[in-house]
Amino acid sequence: MTSLLQPLLLSVQLAGITTALLLVLATPIAWWLARTHSRWKPLVQALVALPIVLPPTVMGFYLLIVLGPAGPLGSWWVELTGNALTFSFTGLVIASCIYSLPFAVQPLAVAFESLGTQKLEAAWTLGASRRDAFFSVAVPLSIRGYLGAMVLSFAHTLGEFGVVLMVGGNIPGETRVVSIAIYDQVESLNYAAAHQLSALLLVVAFVALFAMFLVNRRWRR
């Protein structure tokens, strides 16, 4: 049972770290998209949404090139640390942040757009700086957007397969997440173990989504 739980725990760890990083990275992008009238906005929106429509293997292949020892980011990382980003947990985190970025940006952008400008202008009139108004007005009023971004990013990262396989491979205890472990068990015709892992993943995903909808329902009252 321990061998079955290890991939799930690794997946939860990967999803948790990725979600925390995405909430930080996605906030300025979503805020800019919600407030800007720049002609570059459609281009940025398309780039952010690209992981949704691209096949995971295509995204994984290009991430493998970029993060590889000969790639622009991978070579810099090797010079800095002496370790490769590919086939490592750190590489999985970077790849997951890129692949799950739209699932964090879009809920936040929608939440920021729904704020309008009146509350922010009132804060500015009372002497608050733009930074203070953002953290004291915009963020608290967009908490449902943050909750949606958190749950969607976590659930999406938890079920990654193609990108994880291309960038991280299948190293036990390092990059063998639950989706890879399920594939291994099915390939070995070990359907009982595959069923146990799939059921665990199903329960975790359902609980996360149920919690989000439950909290949203209570906040609407």
Could you tell me the mean pLDDT of each successive run of 10 residues in the chain, 221 residues long?
A: 77 94 96 92 94 91 93 91 91 94 95 84 80 86 90 89 90 89 90 89 84 71 55
Looking at this protein, which amino acid is placed at residue 73? L
pLDDT given at position 163? 92
Centroid of chain to Cα 66: 19
pLDDT given at position 133? 84
Buried b (16+ CB within 10 A) or exposed e, 119-141: ebeebeeeebeeeebbeebbbeb
pLDDT given at position 218? 65
Asked if CATH classification 1.10.3720.10 holds for the domain at 2-220, the reply, yes or no, is yes
pLDDT given at position 51? 92
pLDDT given at position 3? 67
Domain boundaries, the chain: 2-220
Q: Longest Cα pair distance anywhere in the chain, in angstroms?
A: 67
pLDDT given at position 200? 84
pLDDT given at position 1? 55
Looking at this protein, which amino acid is placed at residue 65? I
63 vs 184: CA distance, rounded Å:
23
pLDDT given at position 45? 94
CB 204 within 8 A of CB 158: yes
pLDDT given at position 104? 96
Give which of 10, 19, 35 is closest to 134, Cα–Cα: 35
Residue 172's CB is within 10 A of a number of other CB atoms, namely: 13
φ, ψ at 27 (rounded to 5°): -60, -55
Give which of 103, 89, 95 is closest to 155, Cα–Cα: 103
111 vs 83: CA distance, rounded Å:
40
40 vs 74: CA distance, rounded Å:
28
